[in-house]
Amino acid sequence: MAERLARRLGTTDAVVIGLSAMIGAGVFVAFGPAVQAAGSWLFPALAIAAVVAYCNATSSARLAALYPESGGTYVYGRRRLSPFWGYLAGWGFTVGKTASCAAMALTFGAYVAPALAQPLAIGAVAGVTALNLLGVQRSAGAARVMIAFVLAVLAMVVAAGLMSWPAPPFSLADPTAHGMPDPLATPGWLGLSPEPEPEISMVALTVADEGSWSLLGVLQGAGLLFFAFAGYARIATLGEEVRDPSRTIPRAIGIALAVTLVVYTLVALAALHALGPERLGLSRAPLADVARTADVTWLVPVVSAGAAVAALGALLALVLGVSRTVLAMARNRDLPASLDAIHPVRQVPHRAELAVGVTVIILLLLADLRGAIAFSSFGVLVYYAIANAAALTLTRAEGAPHRAIPVAGLGLCLLLAFTLPWTAVVTGLAVFAFGAVLWFLRHRSTAGR
């Protein structure tokens, strides 16, 4: 029997790691493109995103309680559907989220010092990998500090936005009306901000260009907001390291999702109140622009610092999740067996951690990440679609959720996946097809022995 990881994480640790993944750098930029896509229907878009997140989180929580192992949907797909569907989930998650790790590291570097973004990104990956190698409790402790800082920054932005004067009418023909700065002449205002755009906005800006104030626009806005806080899978992928998993995992996922939804709702209210939908739709750094509009200029660099720390926290959670999925796939020989190793003292999958860290650094040095990031958005929806399909097979004795929940989750995931820009869909289908070919070739060679 394969060696198992030690159960060292409590409910608070699991919640913190989930929040680090869900309240990442996306909250600092996602609302501008989401409003540009959904227009005045931002809150219906947020509600759709919340429904999708709730369905996915509920299905994942029930499955994680039943199968408290490393690997998340890779494990659930294998156990409930077939080894092939589990492999597809693991393949999509590993490939897409490895690219996401590189993108989030670049985001951190760009917020700290844009001219040194690449070396800072490499340093961040090396530092996060070294921290994770010291033990999952050290990682959870670091995540606790980072998420506390990010929540404090967001609380200040919300307070500044809600206490500011409501946004006056806006006209591109006269942008300086009512004393507002000219967006074409003021650095950092409405789309000309020097703040970089993290992973979510690289896809978001493409979606916003294609969006409209229509049903398609609302769905695209929902997709952007869903991507921005869809990190609860990280809790499930750590299922093997959580104490009392049948109780802890569902509770941690529920708490993390509820807190994240409240945070996103408050930030959206503050941003709309301070900027109005027109200005918000044009802004690439909405929270920094909220601080400028409220005339709290000292808060602008604090927002940038919060975004950098949020990106680092998301990177930490991503590396944890990818390495545990790599471990699970290595156990079943869907990845090289040499990666199936647990450090005897630190109780971490040290070879998988190192492999992920080295791969991300190679990507940072060599690859153009734009296509891979677009795939990541498609891949995460396919990943959760498989999780919902697996949850549909649960019986009442196994803790099955109401059937409507995984049915809705499966349908909405597929709907959002195919409302992405066509480039993301085509890239995603091509990457999954390539992974399927590799799987069939490997199994044909294994069957011939």
Nearest of 325, 335, 390, 323 to residue 360 by alpha carbon: 323
Q: What confidence score (pLDDT) does residue 164 get?
A: 78
Q: Residue 179: pLDDT above 60? A: no
**What does the pLDDT look like over 1-17, one tens digit per residue?**
466 767 777 888 888 88
Q: What confidence score (pLDDT) does residue 91 get?
A: 92
Q: What confidence score (pLDDT) does residue 178 get?
A: 40
Q: How many domains are there within the chain? A: 1
**What does the pLDDT look like over 248-271, one tens digit per residue?**
888 888 898 889 989 999 999 998
Q: Residue 148: pLDDT above 90? A: yes
Q: What confidence score (pLDDT) does residue 76 get?
A: 92
Instruction: Quickly state the pLDDT bin for 175 (edges 50, 70, 90).
Output: very low
Residue 88 belongs to domain spanning: 11-444
% of the chain beyond a pLDDT of 90: 25
Q: What confidence score (pLDDT) does residue 374 get?
A: 64
Q: Residue 201: pLDDT above 50? A: no
Q: Which phi-psi region, left, alpha or beta, contains residue 191 (left: φ > 0; alpha: ψ -120 to 50)?
A: left
Structural domain includes residue 3? no
Instruction: Quickly state the pLDDT bin for 87 (edges 50, 70, 90).
Output: very high
Tokens read off for 399: 């803790």
Amino acid at 327: L
Top pLDDT among 427 and 119 is at 119
**What does the pLDDT look like over 111-134, one tens digit per residue?**
888 888 889 999 999 999 999 888
Structural domain includes residue 95? yes
In angstroms, the CA 376 to CA 73 distance is 15
Q: What confidence score (pLDDT) does residue 369 get?
A: 65
Structural domain includes residue 5? no
Q: What confidence score (pLDDT) does residue 318 get?
A: 86
| Residue pair 107/88 in contact by the 8 Å Cβ criterion | no
Q: What confidence score (pLDDT) does residue 180 get?
A: 44
Structural domain includes residue 131? yes
Say which CATH number the domain at 52 has: 1.20.1740.10
- Provide mean pLDDT across the span 76-90: 93
Q: What confidence score (pLDDT) does residue 443 get?
A: 76
Structural domain includes residue 33? yes
Q: Residue 399: pLDDT above 60? A: yes
Q: What confidence score (pLDDT) does residue 69 get?
A: 81
Structural domain includes residue 326? yes
In angstroms, the CA 237 to CA 61 distance is 11
Q: What confidence score (pLDDT) does residue 373 get?
A: 65
The model's pTM: 0.83
Q: Residue 415: pLDDT above 70? A: yes
Nearest of 235, 260, 229, 318 to residue 65 by alpha carbon: 235
